[in-house]
Structure 1
């Protein structure tokens, strides 16, 4: 079975057992490791693999072909994207109005991070931001540091490493979302072609998550091989943050969070309107 997911620690941790033939009855995986912007594009093209990890923000464009698998993805609390600026913030709290008309780097225009940023900016940045520049997520902090853009929207392990680039936090979009809605943040989704046995895929994925938790050291070599020069401590923090109860099962709160995000984004004209029946 062909699958595409990122080389980030949470994804390799989740899929280690399945990727290494440790899940009884699960088919062998042919894996493509790719950034979320790439997997979003693969899903939208109609020519992507059978199973993918994509951003929840990309779901409205692919739900006719792909179904949402209710496990394996990334939702949570305290794990949202950050808006960063260069240097030391002098205003406390930082003033979002400084981003009015400015250049902002983002990892994808079909990412949950970008949807959250646009929803936040509509409330907080008078007149809105200026040019949006799409960059691979690992290029965003250097671009902010070097003055190529005025601010950057970062995800993944950047939560733990941005101070080393001399950057400051403008806002934590996860905290903003949670305070505004009371719901967890829907970040990355596992999807599978509707023609497949979706219940079986969900069960294999859930078993892979459970194996990872039961044997945390088993996946370490695999995780670090793909961890893009992260330290083991940062990789462990990444996994602890993004692999949680919602990874094992979305549950009612998870589905409510996804629905709230996509409905708000549709109201703002950022995504097509979704049919609720296609989510479950």
Structure 2
């Protein structure tokens, strides 16, 4: 029996996309899946250290780990007219060098923020602490991610939407790449293909059974939000576009990596489709 550990974030879309496996709706013969939930920047740092075989990551991290990890085609989250929000206290004006809280050095929102606001003073903290830090005046502004974009305090107002910043930087309307998954390259290729196909199936089954799976997650207190907020959030980040990367999503990833290279964050331009698991190998091997 092969054992494989899948590391994902505790936010609603990651849990939703994985739990068809956890509940036994999707299985792989002779394979036992287990999971661990950690915040996304912890997962980014763990992937840099090579700790997990399959791990959720911020898309902005991927160029730093591309030699050791393949980019998976499934369990992806993109913004389509929405995304993380830069918030501040109402009726305040930010200076050029305002102090801001971000959820992690390697997050996609951090990359785009640094390009847009090169003079801002950045501090990093757990994403669950950012809203309170702004309310308490510890920072002038903060970038809210995950479910926080739907539930923030009414004493706050939006300074800017990461979606708008992304559109400005990208130069055309492309979905905003936020998070995906990667798989360690040392895993034998035939196994890697099976693991990816199982995850693709799990995301599809979850999406096809959204209301039932949501009910089960809420009953087990696995989700931080209520039913209505969960459905809104899943419609944003765990939907038909999460099952398998599309040509438009590849374009968006390539634009993200091109921007990162142009602004000195990456040492080379990365073309996302060059770093996928070659799933055609299995067909060729059996032909």
TM-score (norm 1): 0.88
Return the offset for 1:50: 0.8
Q: Judging changes above 3 Å, is the alpha-carbon distance between structure 1 residues 83 and 198 closer, same or farther for their aligned structure 2 residues?
A: same
For residue 165 of structure 1, report the CA deviation from its aligned partner.
4.7
Residue 274 of structure 1: how far off its partner (Å): 4.2
Counterparts of 1:155-166 in structure 2, within 5 Å, are 155-162=145-152, 164-166=153-155
1:77 equivalent in alignment to 2:77? no
In the alignment, what sits opposite 2:285?
none
Residue 181 of structure 1 pairs with residue 172 of structure 2: yes
SS of residue in 2 equivalent to 1:181: coil
Tell whether the 8 Å contact from 1:107 to 1:136 is kept in structure 2 after alignment.
yes
Residues of 2 paired with 1:88 and 1:238: CA distance?
28
Q: More deviation in 101-110 or 22-31?
A: 22-31
2:94 matched to 1:104?
Answer: no
Which of 262, 273, 279 is the aligned partner of 2:275? 279
Contact residue 141 and residue 152 of structure 1 kept, 8 A? yes
Deviation at 1:109, TM superposition (A): 1.0
Q: Residue 76 of structure 1 contacts residue 244 of structure 1 at CA under 8 Å; is this kept in 2? A: no
- Report if the CA contact (8 A) 2:177-2:252 is conserved: yes
Provide the TM-score with structure 2 as the length reference.
Answer: 0.86
Q: Secondary structure at the match of 1:3?
A: strand
Residues 136 and 53 of structure 1, relative CA distance in 2, 3 Å threshold:
same
CA distance in 2, matches of 1:42, 1:258: 22
Change (3 A) 1:223 1:115: farther
Q: Distance in 1 between matches of 2:37 and 2:242?
A: 19
Count of aligned residue pairs for this structure pair: 264
2:212: which partner in 1? 218
Q: Is the 8 A contact 2:257 2:270 kept in 1?
A: no
Q: Distance in 1 between matches of 2:9 and 2:159?
A: 27
Match of 1:206, SS state, is: helix
Higher deviation after alignment, 216-225 or 243-252: 216-225
**What is residue 113 of structure 2 aligned with on the other side?**
117
- Residues 105 and 149 in structure 1, CA contact (< 8 A), matched pair in contact too: yes
Distance 1:44 1:188 in 2: 15
Asked whether the equivalents of residues 23 and 207 of structure 1 are also in contact (C-alpha less than 8 Å), the reply is yes
Q: Deviations over 1:219-274 (max 9, x none)?
A: 2255332223x222112111110013331111111111111101111211123324
CA distance in 1, matches of 2:157, 2:113: 17
3-state DSSP of counterpart to 2:186 = coil
Q: Where do 1:52-91 residues align within 5 Å?
A: 52-88=55-91
Gaps of 5+ in 2: 277-287
Cα offsets for 1:185-228 (capped at 9, x unmatched): 11001111113333222211111111112222332255332223
Aligned partners of 1:138, 1:268: CA distance in 2, in Å?
A: 29
Aligned to 2:130: 140
1:117-148, Cα deviation, whole Å (9 max, x unpaired): 122225xxxxx21x211010010010001100
- Stretches of structure 1 that go unaligned for 5 or more consecutive residues are 90-94, 123-127
Separation of aligned partners in 2, 1:268 and 1:254: 21
CA RMSD of aligned residues (A): 1.8
